[in-house]
Amino acid sequence: MVMNADEAKKKIDTLREELEQYRHEYHTLDAPSVPDYEYDQKMQELIELEEEFPDFQTADSPSQRVGGAPLDAFVKVQHDVPMLSLGNAFDDQELRDFDRRVRGGTDEDVSYVCELKIDGLAVSLRYEDGVFVRGATRGDGTTGEDITKNLRTIRNIPLRLKQPETLEVRGEAYMPKPSFNALNEAREERGDEPFANPRNAAAGSLRQLDPKIAAKRNLDIFLYGIGQWQDESSEAHSERLEQMEKLGLKTNPEWKKCNDIEEVIDYVHSWVEKRQDLDYEIDGIVIKVDRLDQQDTLGFTAKSPRWATAYKFPAEEAITTLKDIELSV
């Protein structure tokens, strides 16, 4: 049927809202309310309408997730706020040392937030008035690579937030274990070299110059921090995580607020074994001072925050070896 521009605009807006809702249900809530064919049908309808009325085609449309020709190279981008790396702790004593240093640097009680340390690729996402405008790798912490087109293909990255906020969030893009296994099976069948681990597979996928390849790699993301946020109201990291979730940004559900380092140590121990049951790889636990004013007081060294550390699990092969020894006794 022939539509005039006003009817087309109204139809396009309706289709976008429906498709965005379906995306959120399917990918972030894992609870689709419509069958796939209905989603595909509406997407096709949107694509055709936007082709018929190109003035209404905007970058934040669900139809623009997998767009554009392959790039010749990645453009370098500067991080306004450096993306630093975490110091490490390898045992309980080092966690207690961290806690002592933190309490020595602040004059009040300190509570912590513990998060699973996702083993993927650190990325930063910039939103302006709620629209996803740029995504970048950490790079050397000051200069990263613009991988916006590839990040747009990650279904759990909203192209538009639930509120028109201007902020830059940080997170870990990763490849779930099932996607990793399927990808390696396909690669071996083709005679290609399999990826050594999901982190390499995620990094390799996001370094593809052709977004259509990245789109097929079933990548996912957990967001875990804020680089900068205009009009931010949060006073604690735990509040930030809740605010991010409300904006439609996917955070990892396993985070926990701990009132002291002993609770942190219990949480860390509980995940040494449990992590095998996750459908994504983690290589440790990140521990952060919760109050943002205390984070500011503690500040940074040249390369790491003083208010956070990463407890690293012993490498998997180490555990397997121990099991072998026990079994062989």
Given the complex with ligand 3B8, which of 165 and 172 has the nearer CB atom? 172
Considering only 224, 271, 280, 311, the residue that binds ligand 3B8 (CB under 6 A) is 224
Using CA atoms, how far apart are residues 248 and 28, in angstroms rounded to an integer? 8
| Least distance in angstroms from the C-beta of 143 to ligand 3B8 | 16
Tell me if 86 contacts ligand 3B8 by CB under 6 A.
yes
Q: Which of residues 122-161 bind ligand 3B8 (CB under 6 A)?
A: 122
257 is catalytic: no
Q: How many residues of this chain bind ligand 3B8 (CB under 6 A)?
A: 13
- Give the span between the Cα atoms of 56 and 63, in whole angstroms: 12
Spatial distance between the Cα atoms of 266 and 277, rounded to a whole number of angstroms: 18
For ligand 3B8, which is the closer residue by CB, 65 or 257?
A: 257
Residue 313 sits in the site that holds ligand 3B8 (CB under 6 A): no
User: Judged by CB under 6 A, which stretch of 61-69, 79-87, 231-239, 240-248 contacts ligand 3B8?
Assistant: 79-87
Residue from 52, 88, 65 nearest 154 by CA: 65
Which one from 11, 42, 117, 257 is the annotated catalytic residue? 117
Nearer to ligand 3B8, 39 or 280 (CB): 280
Q: Kindly tell me which of 115 and 165 has the beta carbon lying closer to ligand 3B8.
A: 115
Query: What is 147-161 written as a DSSP string?
Result: -HHHHTT-TTS-SB-
The closest of 289, 313, 187, 170 to 238, measured between CA atoms, is: 289
Binding segment for ligand 3B8 among 84-92, 154-162, 236-244, 266-274 (CB under 6 A)?
A: 84-92
Q: Which residue, 201 or 286, has its beta carbon nearer to ligand 3B8?
A: 286
The alpha carbon dihedral of 247, 292, 288, 136 has a sign of positive
Touching ligand 3B8, residues 167-186 (CB under 6 A): 172
Cα separation, 184 vs 238, whole angstroms: 37
Q: Give the separation between CA 6 and CA 124, rounded to whole angstroms.
A: 37
- Sequence-separated (6 or more) residues with CB below 8 Å from residue 291: 110, 111, 235, 236, 237
Least Cβ distance, residue 263 to ligand 3B8 (angstroms): 18
Site string for ligand 3B8, 89-128 (x = CB under 6 A): --------------------------x-xx---x------
CA-atom Rg of the chain in angstroms: 22
Label the pairing between strands 112-118 and 282-289: antiparallel
Would you give the binding string for ligand 3B8 spanning residues 256-295, x where CB under 6 A is met? ------------------------------x---------
Among 225, 226, 237, 291, binds ligand 3B8 (CB under 6 A): 225
CA nearest neighbour of 131 among 91, 176, 97, 162:
162
Backbone φ and ψ for 168, nearest 5 degrees, come out as -125, 120
Give the shortest CB-271-to-ligand 3B8 separation in angstroms: 12
CA distance 221 to 68: 22
Q: What share of the chain is helix, strand, coil (3-state, %, to 5)?
A: 40, 20, 35
For ligand 3B8, the closer of residues 117 and 126 by Cβ is 117
Just list the catalytic residues: 117
Question: Which stretches of the chain bind ligand 3B8, using CB under 6 A?
Answer: 84-86, 115, 117-118, 122, 172, 224-225, 286, 305, 308
